[in-house]
Structure 1
Amino acid sequence: MRFLLRRLAAAVAMLCAGALLVPVQASAAEAACRDLDIPVSLVAMPLLGLKDQTMYGRLCVPPGGSHTLQVLVPGGTYNSAYYDPPGLPETRSFRKAANNAGYATLAVDRVGSGRSSKPLSGLLTASAQANAVHHAIQSMRTGTLGARFDKIVLVGHSLGSATTLIEAATFHDVDGVVITGFTHRIAPLTVVPTVAALSPAALDERMSKVVGLDPGYLTTMTGTRYTAFHNPGLFVQQVVDVDEATKDLIAPGEMVDAVLIGLVLPYSRGINVPVLVAMGDKDTVFCGPVASDCSSAESLRQGEAGYYSPEARLRTFVVPGYGHSINFAPNAPLLHDAVTGWMNEMVGR
């Protein structure tokens, strides 16, 4: 009888332990998120310190916190939703993958897009966006918005990568840089559909309703997202629908100096922290016979190495079978794992 009572007590203890463990395991992947309106300026040193613009950011911190923050900068006609697309499987969420790996994230809307302020489009350049991102980084380092981080890594996509490159090379205030959807050689023959997809935002049914836009703001024409950003990757209607529903704005000036500074000048050689470059091997914007060789990580590294300093310790990664917006790829977890592995080795939590 005593033996049976001991067995029963042990079984009850195990059941109780299991009941206690279940909520902990379920919450392990849940990050605490909140919305931030970050005061920024489009100039590096605003007059009298006046930061007259606002950059929206969604800050997500994993359970237990993190000393390291990834600042996620989206590309042109994208906003912060690129890193956490609503209504899609978690495998497409860069943000959740980073949080699950123990890193905090701040996914921002570039000034002039999303929930950020909408200045005159003529004021927006990639360099101006880099200044705004710099101010956001300083806020996260000093804790002026309630959260402070010891290490910060900039993650960019496409135009956001040009902004990231300019910011890191100018201000030297980050601990690492992740460049996605951007190389130093554009594909002149296959980039045409992406450029041709742009039209005035005033002509778009949804974008025309955004308050405060001048005629210079652009977006993509309805029905062009797959050809412009995903082709020749697998066509998934749900993915294309979400991309269309969350599309955003771009100003012409952002593209001009992104090309001049990001592509023409060897500005990236000013980056003195570790760099990871990740591309889709079928990226029609930057990859091709007369552009970057994205067929393998090694060929990509060889093509890009000359644009970075030895301090960058350049690493590269290629997502097979997809085009420009690789976070929407069915095998996006390969990208997430590559970034996490690089983060763990080069920066740490």
Structure 2
Amino acid sequence: MRTSVRTLAASAAAMLLCLMCPGTVDAEPTAPPDQCRELSFAAPQGILAASLCLPDRPTDTVMVFMAGSNYNHTYWDFPYAPETYNFRRAMNAAGYATLVADRLGNGASSKPPSVSLTATATAEALHGIVQALRHGVTGVAPFATVVTAGHSLSSGTSVMEATAYHDVDGVLLTGYSHALDIPEVLGVISTYHPAADDPVFASRGLDSGYLVTRPGTRERDFYGDGNVDPQVLALDESTKETFSLTEYPDGLTSTLPGMSSLINAPVLLVNGSLDRLSCGPGYTICRDSATLLDAEAQYFTPAAQLRTFVLPRSGHSVNLARNTVAYQDAVVDWMRTVVGR
């Protein structure tokens, strides 16, 4: 696919920019033992679907997850071998509430015209979710501590939300850096095709601006060599998700110097050592956690208390690497020792 930056910028300029409505639609509880309930958050472009899950003990801390452009809620709430790959359950087991939300145009959320999808609109929607959780959603007391967590594109929207509104207590960024490998980014983009041409999505009536990865391309795009369970890869392919290139121009601004320096809450930045998108040419900034910290510290102020973690042999999708439990443990340690709850 050949799409110029100017074309992308023009598409982004045509977006519908509206503020997120803070209210929620009535929720229906799901079955125990996960203590989860489905929620819907109203936005000008439609409805964001989400699932709020509570731990087995009282907490006033919630973590809000959104997946990147090629994933939906299953990235954080993976059903296969959940003791290893289900990040949401790992955080619930550590004592934190979680809310996993699908972006607009994604998963169970509304599918507005693809040209209306932007990272800016997603950041505003994320802000509405944060505020709703602080004020209390249906049947759940307000949360005193709210931490946002993103992957790839949604890490960018987490940066945008945190710098625009300063209303979160921590920011987890994964698959993100200020040293994108542009040729690799373009190589991944070249594996996209219209969702209408994909056998998984052909019958869904989506407009031609909705894209997905071509069958058989995800292993190279998002995984480290040999560090993926074949059953994970098969489920990943069957649950892959739609997005629009109009989400990229403003989303990528979060990786430019300047914006992240406005974050005044603790930040944990996580990458896989073989992330072909976020580790720079030759994976140079992801040799280990200390190297990543040296590379990224210049883009954050002391208020961010920046921590970094590199998951060995993982590609872009750290949640689904064979050794992902080590990354889960690093997040729990950061939550307990830095976020402070």
TM-score for both structures, normalised by structure 2: 0.87
Q: Which amino acid aligns with 1:199?
A: H
Q: Distance in 1 between matches of 2:313 and 2:334?
A: 22
2:90: which partner in 1?
Answer: 97
Q: Distance in 1 between matches of 2:271 and 2:186?
A: 19
Match of 1:253 among 246, 265, 278: 246
Q: Distance in 1 between matches of 2:139 and 2:176?
A: 33
Q: Which amino acid aligns with 1:312?
A: A
Q: Is the 8 A contact 1:186 1:292 kept in 2?
A: no
Q: Distance in 1 between matches of 2:238 and 2:330?
A: 28
Q: Which amino acid aligns with 1:311?
A: A
1:239: which partner in 2?
Answer: 232
1:39: which partner in 2?
Answer: 42
Q: Are 2:170 and 1:167 equivalent residues in the alignment? A: no
Q: Which amino acid aligns with 1:181?
A: G
1:154: which partner in 2?
Answer: 148
2:316: which partner in 1?
Answer: 324
The residue matched to 1:65 in structure 2 has which SS? coil
Q: Are 2:307 and 1:340 equivalent residues in the alignment? A: no
Q: Is the 8 A contact 2:263 2:300 kept in 1?
A: yes
Q: How is 1:1-349 mapped onto 2 (pairs within 5 angstroms)? A: 30-41=33-44, 52-147=45-140, 148-211=142-205, 213-259=206-252, 261-289=253-281, 293-349=285-341
Q: Displacement, 1:233?
A: 4.2
Q: Displacement, 1:118?
A: 1.0
The residue matched to 2:286 in structure 1 has which SS? coil
CA deviation digits over 1:2-51, x for unaligned, max 9?
A: xxxxxxxxxxxxxxxxxxxxxxxxxxx9430111111124xxxxxxxxxx
Q: Is the 8 A contact 1:183 1:292 kept in 2?
A: no
My pick for the range that moved more, 313-322 or 32-41, is 32-41
Q: Is the 8 A contact 2:55 2:92 kept in 1?
A: yes
Q: Is the 8 A contact 1:186 1:291 kept in 2?
A: no
Q: Displacement, 1:108?
A: 0.8
Q: Which amino acid aligns with 2:116?
A: L
Q: Distance in 1 between matches of 2:151 and 2:224?
A: 17
Q: Displacement, 1:238?
A: 0.3
Larger Rg: 1
Seen in structure 2, the aligned counterparts of structure 1 residues 102 and 235 have a Cα distance that, compared at 3 Å, is closer
My pick for the range that moved more, 278-287 or 85-94, is 85-94
Q: Is the 8 A contact 1:139 1:145 kept in 2?
A: no
Alignment: residue pair count: 309
CA deviation digits over 1:93-136, x for unaligned, max 9?
A: 11011000000000110111001111111111111110011111
2:17: which partner in 1?
Answer: none
Q: Distance in 2 between matches of 1:30 and 1:317?
A: 31
Q: Displacement, 1:291?
A: 6.6
Q: Unaligned regions of 5+ residues in structure 2, if any?
A: 1-31
Backbone CA RMSD of aligned residues? 1.6
Q: Is the 8 A contact 1:56 1:115 kept in 2?
A: yes
Q: Distance in 2 between matches of 1:208 and 1:163?
A: 29
Q: Distance in 2 between matches of 1:77 and 1:53?
A: 20
Q: Which amino acid aligns with 1:197?
A: T
Q: Is the 8 A contact 1:281 1:323 kept in 2?
A: yes
Q: Displacement, 1:235?
A: 4.0
Q: Which amino acid aligns with 2:247?
A: E
Q: Is the 8 A contact 2:228 2:322 kept in 1?
A: no
Q: Which amino acid aligns with 1:244?
A: E
Q: Displacement, 1:189?
A: 3.7
Q: Is the 8 A contact 1:68 1:348 kept in 2?
A: no
The residue matched to 1:153 in structure 2 has which SS? strand
Q: Which amino acid aligns with 1:207?
A: F
Q: Displacement, 1:198?
A: 0.8
Q: Distance in 2 between matches of 1:67 and 1:326?
A: 27
Identical pairs, percent: 41
TM-score for both structures, normalised by structure 1: 0.85
Q: Distance in 2 between matches of 1:281 and 1:106?
A: 28
The residue matched to 2:172 in structure 1 has which SS? strand
